[in-house]
Amino acid sequence: MAAAASPARELTQNPLQKTWEPYDNGLPAGHSAQRGVCMTNCPTLIVMVGLPARGKTYISKKLTRYLNWIGVPTKEFNVGQYRRDLVKKYKSFEFFLPDNEEGLKIRRQCALAALNDVRQYLSEENGHVAVFDATNTTRERRETIYKFGEENGYKTFFVESVCVDPEVIAANIVQVKLGSPDYVDCSNDEATEDFMKRIECYKNSYETLDETLDKDLSYIKIMDVGRSYLVNRVMDHIQSRIVYYLMNIHVTPRSIYLCRHGESELNLKGRIGGDPGLSVRGKEFAKSLAQFINEQNIKDLKVWTSQMKRTIQTAEALGVPYEQWKVLNEIDAGVCEEMTYEEIQENYPLEFALRDQDKYRYRYPKGESYEDLVQRLEPVIMELERQENVLVICHQAVMRCLLAYFLDKPAEQLPYLKCPLHTVLKLTPVAYECWCGSVERRSSEDSAQPPIAPVPGRPPVLQRKSGK
């Protein structure tokens, strides 16, 4: 006898995000997603593989930043940091010798501690992805981690970085390892010599991922920081996203310049959105921007704009080719387009209050949220990662989203990042972070302009309750 069909549940629209959700007895259904974007039906464990100085931590940090930016809760677990926390004073490469029993015991203890924290994050703290950053150079160690994933219901994906180019290895040692806490009391020559010997400690036992022996594993193998790739058994959407991202990043030195369009006619009136042209001050800024870019003498600079009039007018003043991207258009304010915030508060008081509650996830009626905008801008991030020097002339909400990605800002801070008019931000990606410097250009007649100076770790000012 067929079971009686359950009664259809009532659908109620979430007022903040304008999405439909099932309700039982006036309350949200228990299975409703509360964890943001869900791209897998079980958590994912990413396992780094490779000798020291092959860019594993660089890849781990970039991948963690990217996944968090697109809304996938991700955390990195660096086993080297666990070792530094446990062994306060690093002595020499001899700690990593394969016959150093005390060193082996400590390293195994640190790896297990990191895996325990991975389990807590993925199984108890609602994490979606954990990145296990260690050498993991033996097949035996990788098998142990794979079984750990199976026992806990995680999908395991290996990321191996193989590098044989001595120039790339040397550059990584200089940029990253010499600044490590391990070598704080050493000269550069002493640190380099010790680190090269540390690498040798791993070489004899290193077993690379093999197309035949590891044919059942899911992995990507990156050769010489992107010269070529080997991808095997991509099992789901999140692994596909990871592969796509890793195949787009590079380490070529470059700078990314971000600025908003010049002041528009609607900016003057305090109205949001629309497709107005530039004001007189906005046109002055466009001329000043052209002068500034010319002074910088930037090699092979590409210029991108949205498809809105005010960014195109700003780019026209540069006198160089530019590319229009529809995805760079300003956030869609829906029924609130071309209104002032006072008018929104008067005509849509509930919407005004909801926006204040959660500015990142709030969606304008028939419009977009910052969360929507991040998803829309993902192709721009991918292309920025592929390119070298780029100037992006965009809009306030768009610029906040791009800036949050490069400076690794959480969703809660993103809508409040300060991106004033007539200011250029210069972003310079370096080993594990992105340097940010700015210059304000008020008028083409102002000759005493401050230079752009990258300032390590300087966060943009947070600005509350202003702008889109």
Residue 128 is a catalytic residue: no
Q: Check if 395 is active-site.
A: no
**Of 76, 182, 330, 332, which residue is the catalytic one?**
330
Identified catalytic residue from 128, 160, 214, 261? 261
Q: What is the DSSP letter of 431?
A: S
At a CB cut-off of 8 Å and minimum separation 6, what does 197 contact? 92, 93
Distances (CA, A) of 437 to 32, 149, 256, 450, 453: 42, 42, 11, 11, 5
Pick the catalytic residue from 76, 133, 182, 385. 133
User: Is 265 one of the catalytic residues?
Assistant: no
**Catalytic residue chosen out of the listed positions 163, 336, 419, 436:** 163
H or E segment at 133?
strand 129-133
Confirm whether 356 is a catalytic residue.
Answer: no
CA distance 392 to 328: 9
Short-list 64, 70, 79, 66, CA closest to 129? 64
- Name which of 161, 140, 127 is nearest 45 in CA terms: 127
User: How far apart, in Å, are the Cα atoms of 170 and each of 134, 197, 332?
Assistant: 20, 13, 47
Q: What residues are labeled active site?
A: 133, 163, 261, 330
